[in-house]
Amino acid sequence: MLGEQRRAEHEGALTEPASGRLASPDIRDEFGLETIDMNMGPQHPAMHGLLRLILELDGETVVRCDPVMGYLHRSKEKISENRMYPAVIPITDRIDYMNNIAMEYGYCLAVEKLLDVEIPPRADAIRALMNEFGRIMSHIPSVGFLLLELGAFTPILYAFRERERIQSIFEAVTGARMMFHYIRIGGVKADLPEGMTETMWEYIEGLEKRLQPDFVDLIGGNEIFISRTRGIGKMSQEKAVEMGLTGVPLRCTGVEFDVRKHYPYGWYKNLDFDVITDEAGDVEASYRVRMGEVRQSIRMIKQILENLPEGEVLGDLGRRLRPNEGDGIARIESARGEYAVHVVSDGSDTPYRVHYRTPCTVNMQLLQEIVPGHYLPDIMPIMGLIDPVSGSWDK
Amino acid sequence: MQTVLNLLEVEPIRLLISFGAVLFLVLNLAAVLTMAERKVSGYIQLRYGPNRVGPRGLLQPAADVFKLFTKENVSPGRSDLWVFLGAPIAMFIPAALVWLVVPFAPEAVVADLNVAILFFVAITSIGALGVVMAGYGSRSAFSLLGALRGAAQMISYEVPLILSLLGVVMLTGSLSLVDVVQAQGDTIWTWYFLPQLPMFITFYIAGLAEVKRVPFDLPEGESEIVGGYMIEYSGMTWALIQAAEFASMAVISAVTVTLFVGGWQPPLPFLDLGPFNWVWFGLKTALIMFTFQWIRWSVPRLRMDQLMDLGWKILVPVTLIWLFVTAGAMLVF
């Protein structure tokens, strides 16, 4: 529907003179130059899934950029209303398919607030542990994607090597490589398998060694990478706050905001970590922030593994959950920004309403605001700055 | 047998036959290069590359060509059909023609023109025509952007490319590529890449831009304009564009070797292989092509304005300064 509406608006806009937006109207009139309308996506390799950009180009300069969402809309919120509380978890898995575990985590936290139950400490620690693995698993490929969109094909394969190894850890712990369905209401599905802490420890130490040569020295020091990313997608702190950005796009402008730090939930209260910020607010800064966050995640995983509490991992809440009337809200820091879930109960065994506040939907505003004035190839690094996931902005 | 050799004495027939041989070589080279490209990228990217078809995957190019032959040739509904179909040919022929003047060995050159360098310069600049034709004929915003980028890039990189040749021409005093190679001698320190180092580097960079390889593959720009000028091609027309790209990459490497790295000359006199000196030529060309592929899989792409900056603000001044240095040195010594 939105697409249709946008198309109508767009066609209307074509007949109107767009001279207000053009870089040099005098020259344009003198030579009778026109802008090109270009439709990028939804089937486009660099659109992070199914995003459509309606672009107006003056040569290579973007005059206007209208993102059109909705090509991967799967009615997550409506489906959630028709399923029993525990059965919604697999639905949430598919929202942000690069960072699934955080999506489960947010929903379960919201339902637990609704039910007002205590979580066994070991389950809480394992949740945070897996969530941080999930963050690494999302941040490293996102740097790979950024480079892929700049035209370097190799880093994505190095990034996916790390992702595959973490996926193997997830497979051993949860039984699935991608759609985990691991975090449950009241705890986690199962305890860590035998010897898992050693495997995790080994992997994390290996990653710490590989991070500098593979992802910092090879990428961050590359002259072409710097020239393509420095100053691109630059935004001020005020602008970022005004647009309601969260996550890396906000932190790379220098605003220190991290839900884990400022509204701590679960095991994060017991962890010692820094909020990584950068002053520049451009694509290069977002890359540095992501790398810094991976280091912080490694630090947190080490802390969790060092003192992992013993005990149960899943409390007994009965077979059928019937929360009292009311609502529960949970905010968590997913790899892309603040992810919030609002669950409203009417006393039955299915939620009355579930709302997922996904960071990508909000962060995508950047495109409309920041892209005009940049060159066409700069759209790709700006997409890398936001690092959106199709499933996450469409739900 | 004797009659065949006599036929070779007749100039037009000799040219025809040797050009046929060169064309055969170029087409096969393109196939070998696709394989090399995929293997090199595989090893750079922690994977094996093709290894299923034939022994160690060596028949992969044959399978690819077979697949492309059997594919339907789709052309966009509103395309300018003649321009659209002519573009791959207009790209391939210049890439193949340059091989006519490249000396493989002292006697093994199709046409030892006394203006071979001029011929090379003239023919390579035609390559831009094919790109513009492809972009214009497809009638798509993406391919049009690719074609415009291609034209701008190839024309602006033509200037440093030609300027960087001039040093060699000055030192040799001849436009014949055979003369250039012979003037370089059979020791590695007398080859022109040492006295002409800035020119060699400029030629290498401009050559990379000329054949549209990363970091100068803006006309393709697969992440923003998804293949650029070749976005609408399929089947054999696409294969021809690919073959043209690989052939021009090979020819730029071969010309680099001929001009700066001593052509068929062995690096040291005792390594002279006599009639098999073309092996040296082949090895050096392969080395240059390997560096092209190495760069291809290691660095990101530049942006159009940065590309222009590099060409006009750095490469052209460098070549001009070195021309003066060369001229001064020739005057003094």
Whether B303 and chain A come into contact, CB under 8 Å, resolves to yes
Structural domain spans, chain A: 2-68, 76-394
pLDDT at A5 (0 to 100): 54
- Determine the Cα–Cα distance for residues A176 and A130; give it in Å rounded to an integer: 13
pLDDT at A266 (0 to 100): 84
pLDDT at A18 (0 to 100): 37
HSE, side-chain direction, 13 A CA sphere, residue B274: 0
Strand pairing report for A353-357 and A337-345: antiparallel
pLDDT at A12 (0 to 100): 43
Query: Is A153 in contact with B221 (Cβ distance < 8 A)?
Result: no
Q: Which residues of A156-176 are buried (b: 16+ CB within 10 A; e: fewer)?
A: bbbbbbbbeebbebbeebbee
Nearest Cα of chain B lies from the Cα of A279 at a distance, in angstroms, of 24
Name the residue facing A157 among B47, B298, B301 (closest C-beta): B47
DSSP for B25-79?
Answer: HHHHHHHHHHHHHHHHHHHHTTS----SSSGGGTTHHHHHHHHHHHS-----TTS
Whether A380 and chain B come into contact, CB under 8 Å, resolves to yes
pLDDT at A136 (0 to 100): 92
pLDDT at B186 (0 to 100): 78
HSE, side-chain direction, 13 A CA sphere, residue B201: 12
Structural domain spans, chain B: 75-332
Across chain A, which has 395 residues, the per-10-residue mean pLDDT values are 50 40 56 76 79 83 84 88 89 87 90 87 90 91 88 87 90 88 87 88 90 84 86 84 88 88 87 87 89 91 89 80 86 90 89 89 85 85 87 83
Mutate to test the interface with B, among A37, A145, A227, A287 (most CBs of B within 10 A): A227
Tokens 């490589």 correspond to A177
Q: What is the pTM of this model?
A: 0.83
Nearest Cα of chain B lies from the Cα of A244 at a distance, in angstroms, of 28
Nearest Cα of chain B lies from the Cα of A45 at a distance, in angstroms, of 7
Q: Which residues of chain B make contact with A383, given a CB cutoff of 8 A?
A: none
Whether B295 and chain A come into contact, CB under 8 Å, resolves to no
Burial of residue A87, with CB atoms counted within 10 A of its CB: 0-12 exposed, 13-18 middle, 19 or more buried? middle
pLDDT at A24 (0 to 100): 54
Whether B45 and chain A come into contact, CB under 8 Å, resolves to yes
**Which architecture characterizes domain A76-394 according to CATH?**
Orthogonal Bundle (1.10)
Regions of chain B with pLDDT less than 50: none
- Determine the Cα–Cα distance for residues B97 and A270; give it in Å rounded to an integer: 71
State ipTM: 0.81
pLDDT at A23 (0 to 100): 47
Q: Which residue of B has its CA nearest to A39?
A: B141
Whether B301 and chain A come into contact, CB under 8 Å, resolves to yes
pLDDT at A16 (0 to 100): 37
Whether B297 and chain A come into contact, CB under 8 Å, resolves to yes
Mutate to test the interface with B, among A57, A224, A284 (most CBs of B within 10 A): A224
pLDDT at A325 (0 to 100): 85
- Determine the Cα–Cα distance for residues B183 and B196; give it in Å rounded to an integer: 14
In contact, A321 and A85? CB cutoff 8 Å = yes
